[in-house]
């Protein structure tokens, strides 16, 4: 007679428990690796966008697009369409691809910092949009654009006398160009206050709130006017040279006297600048 051999119920339970424990240990690490891969991919995409902006300025007398006038035809997503070939997916950070609205204007119930802006359509928003709509999760520093002298932006009514207009400027490595954002354009000012929460892009006209979002481990990915790309810390945003007259030692900087306890709770542990 032969005795049949096999695992006992207790042995099976022990094996299952060990596997569950290993999964619990490995899953956070795998999630971090996945997030890091998306962050690296985002920076690679921004480098490609730098190439497109460079090509545009070379083709237009060294100047950026106007950004205003004739509906939305002069905003970056339409002005640069011949370069990125209307690839809507490429307008999105790999961490934020789902649009805030569908083509019928229905609001997504799950809007957060990993949402894309749009979809904006020709029928709902006027000329300058693709027939299928436009959406993305990157935004341009509106102060780099080249509107007609003496004009103000259509939506913000901010004076544009201090716009950069061209990439060939002194200190270009500190001038933001293109970045993670909850809106397709931003016009930050030194007195903009940090958002109490991360999803307040439309809560006020303080445009720093459109980009003060924790998409990449305490910061956002950003391209600069010298065509470099790197992560910018969220508190660092207030220290960058957004326009020609921008004070880089304003209220919300260490040089201006800001301390960790001044920031909203969700930002207090981030690095000071």
Per-residue pLDDT 10s for the chain (273 aa) are 556 566 677 878 888 888 888 877 777 766 776 778 899 999 999 999 999 999 999 999 999 999 887 668 889 999 999 999 999 999 999 999 988 876 666 766 666 888 899 888 776 556 788 888 899 999 999 999 999 876 765 455 567 889 999 998 999 999 999 999 999 999 999 999 999 988 776 667 899 999 999 999 999 999 999 999 999 999 999 999 999 999 999 999 999 999 989 999 999 999 999
Q: Nearest to residue 95, comparing CAs of 19, 41, 158?
A: 41
- Give the pLDDT score at 154: 47
Lookup: tokens for 226: 């010298």
What is the number of other CB atoms lying within 10 angstroms of the CB of residue 42? 24
Q: Find out whether 225 and 173 touch, Cβ atoms under 8 Å.
A: yes
Cα 153 from Cα 187, distance rounded (Å): 10
- Give the pLDDT score at 12: 80
Q: Nearest to residue 170, comparing CAs of 269, 270, 81, 241?
A: 241
pTM of the predicted structure, to 2 decimals: 0.85
80 φ/ψ angles, rounded to the nearest 5 degrees: -95, 10
Cα 136 from Cα 99, distance rounded (Å): 7
């Amino acid at each position: 007679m032969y005795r049949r051999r096999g695992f006992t119920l207790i042995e099976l339970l022990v094996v299952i428990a060990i596997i569950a424990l290993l999964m619990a240990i490995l899953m956070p690490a795998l999630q971090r690796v996945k997030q890091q891969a998306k962050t690296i991919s985002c920076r690679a995409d921004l480098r490609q966008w730098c190439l497109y902006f460079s090509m545009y300025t070379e083709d237009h007398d060294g100047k950026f697009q106007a950004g205003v006038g004739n509906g939305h035809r002069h905003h970056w997503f339409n002005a640069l369409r011949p370069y990125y070939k209307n690839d809507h997916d490429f307008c999105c950070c790999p961490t934020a691809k789902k649009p805030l609205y569908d083509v019928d204007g229905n609001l997504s119930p799950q809007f957060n910092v990993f949402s894309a802006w749009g979809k904006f359509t020709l029928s709902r928003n006027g000329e300058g949009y693709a027939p299928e709509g436009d959406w993305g999760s990157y935004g341009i520093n509106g102060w780099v654009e080249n509107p007609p002298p003496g004009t103000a932006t259509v939506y913000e009514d901010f004076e544009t006398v201090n716009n950069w207009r061209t990439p060939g400027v002194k200190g270009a490595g500190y001038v933001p160009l293109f970045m993670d954002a909850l809106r397709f354009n931003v016009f930050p000012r030194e007195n903009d206050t940090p958002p109490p929460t991360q999803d307040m892009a439309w809560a006020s006209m303080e445009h720093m709130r459109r980009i003060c979002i924790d998409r990449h481990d305490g910061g956002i990915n950003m391209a600069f006017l010298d065509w470099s790309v790197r992560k910018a810390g969220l508190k660092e945003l207030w220290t960058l040279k957004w326009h020609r007259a921008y004070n880089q030692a304003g209220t919300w900087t260490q040089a201006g006297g800001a301390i960790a306890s001044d920031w909203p709770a969700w930002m207090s542990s981030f690095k000071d600048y």
